Amino acid sequence: MTRGFAGIVVSLALLAGCSWFGDKDNTEPPAKLAEFSEQIKLKRVWSRDTGAGTDEQFVKLVPFVAGDRVFVADRSGIVRAYTLEKGEQLWQSKTRVAISAGPGVGDDLVVVGSSDADLIALDAETGQQRWRTSVSSEVLSVPQIYRGIVVVQTVDGNLAGLDAASGERLWIQGRTVPVLTLRGTSTALVEGGAVIAGFANGKMTALDIRSGAPVWEAVVAVPSGRSELQRMVDVDANPVVRDGVLYVASFQGQMAAVGLQNGRVLWNRDMSAYAGIAVDSGQVYVSDENSEVWALDRDSGVSLWKQGALRRRALTGPTVAGGYVAVGDFEGYVHLLSRLDGSIAGREKVDSKGILASPVALGERLLVLGAGGKLVLYRLEPI
């Protein structure tokens, strides 16, 4: 089984509840939405149709906010720029590729990746193409741009640094990819001149962004079990840095806090997650593989609360917005949970085709991109 096909199969099995061994589907169904006491309202500021969305493919295209602009890509290959305040379109650019990752924004560039291993850089002001180059395989994580270097991670386990002015490759580091993996790749972080990335083998690695030289490596999860399925420990949830600590989770593995400078594990606990992580001043929030949302103590990893009313609803990673934690689900709802106890405080239907990407928090506003291409900016208003 090839790496790409294996990833697709596993993703569908996890998210859609498919039976691998027969026609009978005996998996647990998604939880039905129950009534709740509404405390916060998601008031729509503006809404835009940004194109084909993900085109029913499991690719987490994300909106990127840079200053007063929002950048969005769709699966058909079109990249668009809008004003943040009113949602007015500034430009659109046709790349003519099947976009599978991005956009990433920085150094006056907008960079997207494709399923056919293309990496394309556009001018952030005009949308005109600056350069196009080939990387080693499909790109599913958001390209990062930092001080003249574009960092891209590909599904074959490679992490590469490219010159932002020309697209020329500066360095490349590879990791062995297991036979069976989830379809996804966590987005690398750039902190203090280091690139920090998670891999399908359950490890986190920090590299010098200029040379690609290793700085440290940390083991987040160790594969166990007899079958390839049981041994999957992908780090697909985007890691988060807060106050010099890196928070990371793996599938069928652990949630861990890691020292940013040396890669030393500060605490860990059993947790299986691939959707995402969010962190505030005192808590870590994570959507686990069953779509139960947890709040953990930042210093110890001890559980503070768990919200199970959205179980099996294919939740996105959480986002902290005001006094709430926002998650999207497979039916296109955004749910707002109290940061204090996890109780559901608000809900709004965004896109009938579902939500794959985590909402983007902008103070008391929330930007949501649906899988069908609907982009909505909301304001959080108390009832």
Rounded CA separation 332/349 (Å)? 6
Rounded CA separation 368/355 (Å)? 8
Kindly report the average pLDDT of the chain as a whole number.
90
Helices (H), the chain: 3-16
Using the predicted structure, report yes or no on whether residue 14 has a pLDDT greater than 70: no
Pick 334 or 10 by higher pLDDT: 334
Q: Are 257 and 245 in contact (CB under 8 A)?
A: yes
Which residues are registered as beta bridge partners of 44?
Answer: 378
Residue position matching structure tokens 């239907």: 349
**Helices and strands: H and E segment counts in the chain:** 1, 32
**Residues ≥6 apart with Cβ < 8 Å to 292:** 306, 307, 308, 310, 311
pLDDT at 25: 58
pLDDT at 21: 37
Read off the pLDDT of residues 153-200 as tens digits, 9 standing for 90 and up: 999 999 999 999 999 999 999 887 766 677 777 899 999 899 999 888
Pick 237 or 72 by higher pLDDT: 72
pLDDT at 178: 61
How long is the chain?
383
pLDDT at 179: 64
Using the predicted structure, report yes or no on whether residue 8 has a pLDDT greater than 70: no
Using the predicted structure, report yes or no on whether residue 372 has a pLDDT greater than 90: yes
Using the predicted structure, report yes or no on whether residue 266 has a pLDDT greater than 90: yes
Of 331, 255, 329, 265, the residue nearest 295 (C-alpha): 255
pLDDT at 53: 87
**Residues ≥6 apart with Cβ < 8 Å to 363:** 322
Read off the pLDDT of residues 233-254 as tens digits, 9 standing for 90 and up: 687 889 999 999 999 999 888 9
Share of the chain above pLDDT 70, in %: 91
The pLDDT confidence band at residue 33, using thresholds 50, 70 and 90, is very high
The pLDDT confidence band at residue 348, using thresholds 50, 70 and 90, is very high
Rounded CA separation 263/276 (Å)? 20
CATH code that applies to domain 31-60+307-383: 2.40.10.480
pLDDT at 26: 65
The pLDDT confidence band at residue 52, using thresholds 50, 70 and 90, is confident
pTM for the model stands at 0.91
Pick 248 or 229 by higher pLDDT: 248
Using the predicted structure, report yes or no on whether residue 212 has a pLDDT greater than 60: yes
* Ordered DSSP codes for 189-252: EEETTEEEEE-TTSEEEEEETTT--EEEEEE-----SSSTTTT-----SPPEEETTEEEEE-TT
Degrees, nearest 5: CA angle 73-74-80: 40
pLDDT at 15: 44
DSSP state of 353: T
Using the predicted structure, report yes or no on whether residue 22 has a pLDDT greater than 60: no
pLDDT at 236: 81
Using the predicted structure, report yes or no on whether residue 7 has a pLDDT greater than 60: no
Pick 181 or 207 by higher pLDDT: 207
Of 24, 44, 105, 59, the residue nearest 373 (C-alpha): 59
Which residues are registered as beta bridge partners of 241?
Answer: 246
Read off the pLDDT of residues 85-126 as tens digits, 9 standing for 90 and up: 999 999 999 999 999 999 999 999 999 999 999 999 999 999
* Torsions phi, psi for 267 (to 5 deg): -160, 155
In 95-178, the DSSP E strands lie at 99-106, 109-114, 118-123, 129-134, 144-146, 149-153, 158-163, 169-174
Greatest mean pLDDT range, 195-209, 250-264, 311-325: 311-325
Q: Are 9 and 182 in contact (CB under 8 A)?
A: no
Residue position matching structure tokens 């997207």: 112
pLDDT at 285: 98
pLDDT at 17: 43
Share of the chain above pLDDT 90, in %: 77
pLDDT at 240: 95
pLDDT at 332: 97
